[in-house]
Structure 1
């Protein structure tokens, strides 16, 4: 064990390391793409002598990504991007493996922020960010911590929105690869990953049946598509709410009812928000909801439905089951909130399946190498994942699945590149 990691780390209980190691071993066995990249990194040592700070949901799959980056020669520091998704046993296991960890489950909000700052105080050369948390700190109160920073990679839609806002103002100081926008991320992670894991967390937490219920999916981006598709597969009647006309037409043609939230509020038994925006369910909507309606968030931050508005009309708030708060309203109705409005798939579950995160975290690993190899030429800004990296991850995944595909002949390539027949 690295004595530096052991001495510096702040975790809840180092005695949990053996349990965390079993979790990491399990996901490693189901992440063949990342395993192949680890082998390459061990040989090439692309991060030798560099410091890498990571801010992601700190569970087993993230832990294995950290170990892959470490295998590439990096000195790795990691923190959690959500106070309720951090798994203490996984944190302890990472410390044993020589990774510096600043994370614990459900810290006080101020401590949560302080742990993020601690993870940046190593003054990293590279970062992996989630939701723009690191970027916000570095461009806000602690610009002194980015004096060595070459760049990094961002995991989420929410984070990319923040980065593009910084870029628009001319304030973004380093290149950040928009991993979320890669095909192998949003097509699979956002759709199939969120689609399954959101319902995993919902069902595990409530122990209720979905079949026959009316589910309102708020937002029909890639995550919303996945949540709606899986709700339909579970036997639910699905309503979609949207502000984007094109996505609303798509939801309609996919076979879902589409209506404004104020109307959907009257029908929903279960509500899942996946917008990346704030207060898409608010005080205008709560008076219309059924007694027993359940609210869950699968967007990034805990602002998608307004808890202050709900609390304002409640006479009592009590925890009725782990990760379920009941808001008893003055008119006698009860509305239930899962996982404090935080990401239901991670705060009340284990996140996306390992096979899905295999592709996403493979992209993170190769994107980090890409930005390190090219940061001088790239310069500050939001950077797209090169298509060849995207395709490489997909081809490696196909190999792991034992699936073969066709290839274009030279004649076919020439035909596609020609304007004449």
Structure 2
């Protein structure tokens, strides 16, 4: 065990480490792309002598990403990006592997915030953020800690929304790669990963059937598409609510009913929010919901389902199963909120499948390497993942699956590049 990581870490119980190692070993065996990148990093040492701060949902797949960055020569410190998604056994195992960990499951809000600040106080050279919390703290409360940071990468839709708002206002002080906007992120992680992990969490938490029920999916971006697709596959009737006309047409042509939330609220048995916005389910919706409606959020922050207005209509609140709170309304109806309205697939489950996060975290690792190699030429703005990295990750994935592709002939390349097709 590394004495530095042990002395500087904040974890619940180091005795939990053996179970955490088993979890990390399992995902490592199912993340072939990241394994390949790890071998490259071990040989090239792209982060030698650098400090890297990571704030992500701290479970086994994230732990393995931290170990891959560490294998590239970095001194890695990691904190959680959501109080309920941190797994204490994984944290203990990471400490034994030499990573400094500042995370516990379900800390008090003040303690959670303090751990993020302590993460930044290592004065990192590079950061990986999830939801924009690190960047926000750097630009508001601790701008003194910006001095050493070369740049970083952002994981989520929510985080990129915040970063682009900062860029628009002219206050962003470092380059950040928008990993969420890469093809290998939103096509697979957001769609297939979110779709599966949301219902993994809902099913294991409620132990209720989805088939024959009505699932209301609030938002039809890539995550919403995945949730709707999985709900349909489980036998549910699916209703989509949207504010964007093009997405609404797409949902309609994908075979789903589309209607305003106030109408959908009367019909839903399960509600899943995936918008990245606040107050998409509020009091006017609770007032018409069925007795026994189940509410879950798959967006980054716990603001999509309005909890104060839910509480205001309740005469009592109690925990009826692990990760399920029952709100007894004054009119006798009951509403059930999963994982306190936090990110359901990690607050009440294990998150996306390892094979899906293999691509996303490979993008993270390669984007961090790209920032480190080019930070002096990069602007202080939100940057796209270079297409070459996106394609390389996809190629590594195909290779791991034993899938080969056709290649264009010289004549075909010439034809595609020419305006004269004769």
TM-score between the two structures when normalised by the length of structure 1: 1.00
In the TM superposition, what whole-angstrom CA distance separates every residue of 1:23-43 from its partner, at most 9, and x where no partner exists?
Answer: 000000000000000000000
**Which secondary structure state, in structure 2, belongs to the residue aligned with residue 238 of structure 1?**
strand
Question: 1:255 is matched with which residue?
Answer: 255
After superposition, where does 1:70-85 map in structure 2 within 5 Å? Answer: 70-85=70-85
Are residues 1:152 and 2:156 paired? no
**Which secondary structure state, in structure 2, belongs to the residue aligned with residue 379 of structure 1?**
coil
Q: How many Å apart are 1:2 and its aligned residue?
A: 1.9
Question: 2:178 is matched with which residue?
Answer: 178
Question: 1:188 is matched with which residue?
Answer: 188
Question: 2:237 is matched with which residue?
Answer: 237
Question: 1:384 is matched with which residue?
Answer: 384
Question: 1:336 is matched with which residue?
Answer: 336
Task: Give me the whole-angstrom Cα distance separating, in 2, the residues matched to 1:14 and 1:195.
Answer: 33
Task: Give me the whole-angstrom Cα distance separating, in 1, the residues matched to 2:202 and 2:343.
Answer: 10
Question: 1:88 is matched with which residue?
Answer: 88
Q: How many Å apart are 1:227 and its aligned residue?
A: 0.1
Question: 1:202 is matched with which residue?
Answer: 202
Task: Give me the whole-angstrom Cα distance separating, in 1, the residues matched to 2:416 and 2:148.
Answer: 45
**Which secondary structure state, in structure 2, belongs to the residue aligned with residue 266 of structure 1?**
coil
* Unpaired stretches in structure 1, ≥5 consecutive residues: none
Are residues 1:315 and 2:315 paired? yes
Q: How many Å apart are 1:189 and its aligned residue?
A: 0.1
Q: How many Å apart are 1:4 and its aligned residue?
A: 1.0
Are residues 1:276 and 2:273 paired? no
Q: How many Å apart are 1:348 and its aligned residue?
A: 0.2
Question: 2:109 is matched with which residue?
Answer: 109
Are residues 1:11 and 2:8 paired? no
Are residues 1:217 and 2:224 paired? no
Q: How many Å apart are 1:377 and its aligned residue?
A: 0.6
Task: Give me the whole-angstrom Cα distance separating, in 2, the residues matched to 1:53 and 1:375.
Answer: 16
In the TM superposition, what whole-angstrom CA distance separates every residue of 1:359-396 from its partner, at most 9, and x where no partner exists?
Answer: 00000000000000001111210000011100000000
Q: How many Å apart are 1:419 and its aligned residue?
A: 1.2
In the TM superposition, what whole-angstrom CA distance separates every residue of 1:69-101 from its partner, at most 9, and x where no partner exists?
Answer: 000000000000000000000000000011000
In the TM superposition, what whole-angstrom CA distance separates every residue of 1:270-296 from its partner, at most 9, and x where no partner exists?
Answer: 000000000001011111100000000
After superposition, where does 1:271-420 map in structure 2 within 5 Å? Answer: 271-420=271-420
Q: How many Å apart are 1:415 and its aligned residue?
A: 0.9
Task: Give me the whole-angstrom Cα distance separating, in 2, the residues matched to 1:2 and 1:375.
Answer: 30
After superposition, where does 1:120-135 map in structure 2 within 5 Å? Answer: 120-135=120-135
Task: Give me the whole-angstrom Cα distance separating, in 2, the residues matched to 1:324 and 1:253.
Answer: 34
- Cα RMSD for the two superposed structures: 0.5
* Unpaired stretches in structure 2, ≥5 consecutive residues: none
**Which secondary structure state, in structure 2, belongs to the residue aligned with residue 406 of structure 1?**
coil
Task: Give me the whole-angstrom Cα distance separating, in 1, the residues matched to 2:336 and 2:18.
Answer: 36
Task: Give me the whole-angstrom Cα distance separating, in 2, the residues matched to 1:407 and 1:133.
Answer: 43
Q: How many Å apart are 1:413 and its aligned residue?
A: 1.1
Equivalent residue pairs, number: 421
Question: 1:44 is matched with which residue?
Answer: 44
In the TM superposition, what whole-angstrom CA distance separates every residue of 1:206-264 from its partner, at most 9, and x where no partner exists?
Answer: 00000000000000000000000000000000000000000000000000000000000
Question: 1:34 is matched with which residue?
Answer: 34
Question: 1:68 is matched with which residue?
Answer: 68
TM-score between the two structures when normalised by the length of structure 2: 0.99
Task: Give me the whole-angstrom Cα distance separating, in 2, the residues matched to 1:22 and 1:393.
Answer: 26
**Which secondary structure state, in structure 1, belongs to the residue aligned with residue 200 of structure 2?**
helix
Q: How many Å apart are 1:63 and its aligned residue?
A: 0.1
**Which secondary structure state, in structure 1, belongs to the residue aligned with residue 376 of structure 2?**
helix
In the TM superposition, what whole-angstrom CA distance separates every residue of 1:164-187 from its partner, at most 9, and x where no partner exists?
Answer: 011011100010000000000000
Task: Give me the whole-angstrom Cα distance separating, in 1, the residues matched to 2:55 and 2:410.
Answer: 45
**Which secondary structure state, in structure 2, belongs to the residue aligned with residue 101 of structure 1?**
strand
Task: Give me the whole-angstrom Cα distance separating, in 2, the residues matched to 1:108 and 1:274.
Answer: 25
Task: Give me the whole-angstrom Cα distance separating, in 2, the residues matched to 1:286 and 1:169.
Answer: 36
Are residues 1:137 and 2:137 paired? yes
